[in-house]
Each structure stands twice: as structure tokens, then as C-alpha cells.
């Protein structure tokens, strides 16, 4: 059986999801964009909150909407009109990671079952911003099972006008040894960046074998040919899959940390200008993306 608890600490609200054996556990912050703070399976930390890190710097597990990654100078044109997002990236004049990562989400629905539990959170934009003057509502549903977690995001356009958007998720996954961890995905194009990490074009890419992380300082993006990403560590392996039509991958390794950001996206950096992956949501229409993370524990020699 699964259960859901609400936790309030110093005016911050969290949701805890777990099974009775506590072999599957998840923790969600309602005040920080409905993000997944912690995730454990079989006593192994898959996503782990780091008290020494500032969420506003890492965007750990944040939902990225109405754009993922960056927009150059925060500027874009839509239907012949120019808009400008707030440029919030430290050290660069870019808009970064959308508008909902720091919004307060509300729990609107939950479900308990023998084999899973789920929570649905929502945020409704009631004040039009200068850079994105549109009304919308976003729903995030987390479904926790014994060996997996599903993340479903639904965007509803509440405005009388259509608007552009891309969608992404920014989880950091733990590894006991990142040097001996591997990524596997199907891609034939890597995205080229300038010194400000803004897309400049595409280069050919061929991953014949798994990508070993080693001690690489990664901050790379790829056009995916399939919806499956695999991550293998000495203790566990994960499969991250999506049901979206277009799939892109951003990977990032922070310095001196045993973790890697594996970010599925529906569009690339500066998509509001280069249009790669950009979609239009018309008035009263909805868009839904589903990501699923499946866990497998590796057999240990002493077991």
C-alpha cells in the first residue's frame, strides 16, 4: 500500500509519497514550482536534495515552462510583436528556464492504491508578465510505483490568444561513481553553442557505444531520434522515456558533484527564435507531456 503525507516546515509545504515498506519514496516541494526534491528506490538515492546548494542556482528538478534552457537576451518576436523576458542568468544576458520554477503550486487531487499513489498539483497564471503576457494553467502529476515514477505535465491556454512554448524537466540524478557511469541515447545531431551557450547550429553526432561520463565537464545538448534515455551507474540503472513527438536532451555535470542533470525537453535553447521544437498553443487548447523514470537495482557481488 502507498501513502501520502503533507509536511510543513518554516512556512514551506512538502508532499511525501511512499509505500509502506519505504522501498519507494518521493518528496515534492509545493513552494518551488512543484519540483521533485528527493527520490529513492530500494534504499538508493536517485534524486537527492543538497542543503549546501541553492535551488535558485541549480534549478534542481524544476519544471521548465514556457521555455526550456535559454533565450538570447530574453528577446523574441511572436505574431510580429517583440517581447522581452527578464534576463535572470548569472553572468550572461539570457532568460533562463522559464517562469514557473519558483511558483507556488497547490495540491488539487491525490490517489492512493495498492500498487501506486499519485498527486496532481496546479498553478494558474493570473497576472500577465511583460515577457509572456498570456494566461495559462499548468498541472503536474507525479505517479509513484515500486520501481518507477511518472511525471505528467499538462498546459492549458486560458488566454484569448495563442502563445509559443516549449517544455522541459531539470532533474539531477545521483551516482556513487560518476566516472564509471554511462549514458545511452539515439542521436545523430549535437547542438552547437556560442560562448553564451546560445544555439548557433547543429553538428553531426554518432554515439556508437554508451557515453562514459568519466571526469568530463558536460554541458551539451542533442536532438534525439527516439524517446528513450538510459543512465547506468555502479549501483543502479534508469530508463527515462517520453511520449512527446519531438525530443531533445540536455546533459550537465556540475563541478565536484556526484550527480548529473539529464534534462528531457520538447525544444532546444533559444527555441523562441530558432523555432526548433517550438509549438503554438491556441486559446482553450491543452498540451500534455509524459515522462517516466524506471529504476533497476544492480546485483552486488556480496548479495
Band (209; pLDDT cuts 50, 70, 90): confident
Poorest-pLDDT segment among 30-39, 145-154, 156-165, 203-212: 203-212
Q: What is the pTM of this model?
A: 0.95
Percent of the chain with pLDDT over 70: 99
Confidence class for position 302, pLDDT limits 50, 70, 90: very low
Least confident of 13-17, 47-51, 96-100: 47-51
pLDDT band at 182 (very low <50, low <70, confident <90, very high): very high
pLDDT greater than 90 at residue 255: no
- Asked whether residue 301 carries a pLDDT value surpassing 50, the answer given is no
- State the SS3 of the chain: CEEEEEEEECCEEEEEEEECCCCEEEEEECCCCCEEEEEEECCEEEECCCCCCCHHHHCCCEEECCCCCEEECCEEEECCEEEECCCCCCCCCEEECCCCCCCCCEEEEEEECCCEEEEEEEEECCCCCCCCCCCEEEEEEEEEECCEEEEEEEEEECCCCCEEECCEEECEEECCCHHHCEEEEEEEEEEEECCCCCEEEEEECCCCCCEECCCCCCEEEEEEEEEEEEEECCCEEEEEEECCCCCEEEEECCCCCCEEEEEEECCCCCHHHHCCCCEEECCCCEEEEEEEEEEEECCCCCC
The mean predicted confidence, pLDDT, of the chain is 95
CATH class held by domain 2-297: mainly beta
Examine the pLDDT at 300 and tell me if it is beyond 80: no
Taking the domains of the chain in order of start, what are their residue ranges? 2-297
Under the banding of pLDDT at 50, 70 and 90, the label for residue 36 is very high
pLDDT one-digit tens code per residue, 126-163:
999 999 999 999 999 999 999 999 999 999 999 999 99
What's the average model confidence in pLDDT over 18-25?
96
Amino acid at each position: 500500500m502507498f501513502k501520502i503525507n503533507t509536511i510543513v516546515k518554516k512556512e514551506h509545504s512538502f508532499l511525501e509519497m511512499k509505500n509502506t515498506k519505504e522501498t519507494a519514496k518521493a518528496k515534492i516541494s509545493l513552494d518551488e514550482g512543484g519540483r521533485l526534491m528527493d527520490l529513492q528506490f530500494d534504499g538508493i538515492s536517485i534524486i537527492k536534495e543538497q542543503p549546501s546548494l541553492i535551488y535558485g542556482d541549480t534549478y534542481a528538478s524544476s519544471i521548465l515552462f514556457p521555455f526550456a534552457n535559454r533565450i538570447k537576451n530574453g528577446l523574441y518576436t511572436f505574431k510580429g510583436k517583440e517581447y522581452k523576458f527578464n534576463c535572470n542568468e548569472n553572468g550572461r544576458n539570457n532568460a533562463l528556464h522559464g517562469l514557473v520554477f519558483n511558483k507556488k503550486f497547490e495540491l488539487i487531487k491525490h490517489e492512493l492504491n495498492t500498487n501506486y499513489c499519485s498527486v496532481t498539483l496546479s498553478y494558474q497564471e493570473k497576472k500577465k508578465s511583460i515577457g509572456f503576457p498570456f494566461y495559462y494553467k499548468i498541472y503536474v502529476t507525479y505517479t509513484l510505483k515500486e520501481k518507477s515514477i511518472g511525471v505528467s505535465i499538462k498546459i492549458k491556454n486560458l488566454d484569448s490568444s495563442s502563445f509559443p512554448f516549449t517544455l522541459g524537466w531539470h532533474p539531477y540524478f545521483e551516482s556513487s561513481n560518476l566516472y564509471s557511469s554511462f549514458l545511452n541515447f539515439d542521436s545523430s545531431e549535437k547542438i552547437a553553442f556560442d560562448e553564451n551557450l546560445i544555439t548557433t547550429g547543429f553538428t553531426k553526432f554518432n554515439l556508437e557505444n554508451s557515453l562514459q561520463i568519466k571526469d568530463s565537464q558536460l554541458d551539451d545538448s542533442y536532438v534525439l531520434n527516439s524517446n528513450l534515455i538510459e543512465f547506468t551507474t555502479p549501483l543502479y540503472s534508469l530508463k527515462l522515456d517520453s511520449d512527446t513527438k519531438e525530443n531533445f536532451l540536455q546533459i550537465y555535470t556540475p563541478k565536484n558533484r556526484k550527480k548529473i542533470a539529464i534534462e528531457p525537453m520538447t525544444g532546444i535553447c533559444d527555441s523562441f527564435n530558432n523555432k526548433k521544437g517550438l509549438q503554438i498553443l491556441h486559446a482553450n487548447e491543452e498540451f500534455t507531456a509524459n515522462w517516466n523514470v524506471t529504476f533497476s537495482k544492480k546485483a552486488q557481488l556480496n548479495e
